[in-house]
Amino acid sequence: MSENSKLAIALQYEKGSGAPVVVAKGKGTIGAKIVEIAKANDIPIEENEILAGALSKVELGEEIPPDLYKAVAEVLVFVLRLSGRAR
C-alpha cells in the first residue's frame, strides 16, 4: 500500500471507562496527518492493515464493537509495553 493511500485510525482508551473509542480516522492526506500528529506527540503507532480496515467502519466517537476487543487489546498491550507502562 502506498504512503498516500494508507488508512489511519486513532483510538482513545481511558482505564475504567468502557471500550476504546474511535477519535480520528482517515485515508491519504488525512491518514498521513493522523500519523504525523501521533509521532509529534510520542504516541506509539501499530501498523495493522486488517484491524484498521475493520475499525474504519466504526463511527467517530463510538466505542469499538465487541468482536474487535481481542485484536484491539493486543494492540493496547503492545502500546503500553512500548511506552513503559506495562511489562
> pTM of the prediction?
0.83
User: Can you give the residue range of the structural domain that contains 9?
Assistant: 3-82
Give 4's pLDDT tier (boundaries 50, 70, 90): low
What is the radius of gyration, based on Cα positions, of the chain?
A: 13
**What is the reported pLDDT for 1?**
46
pLDDT of residue 11 exceeding 80, the answer is: yes
Instruction: Assess if residue 48 is contained within a domain.
Output: yes
DSSP code of residue 56 = T
Q: What CA–CA distance (Å, rounded) separates 25 from 16?
A: 23
The count of structural domains within the chain is 1
For residue range 22-65, what is the model confidence (pLDDT) as tens digits?
999 999 999 999 999 999 998 888 889 999 999 999 999 999 99
Q: Is residue 87 part of a domain?
A: no
Give yes or no for residue 85 having a pLDDT over 80.
no
Asked whether residue 43 is assigned to any structural domain, the reply reads yes
Task: Residue 40: count other Cβ atoms within 10 Å of its Cβ.
Answer: 8
pLDDT of 72 > 70? The answer is yes
Q: Tell me what pLDDT residue 78 has.
A: 82
pLDDT at 87: 60
Q: What is the CATH number of the domain that holds 37?
A: 3.40.1690.10
38: in domain: yes
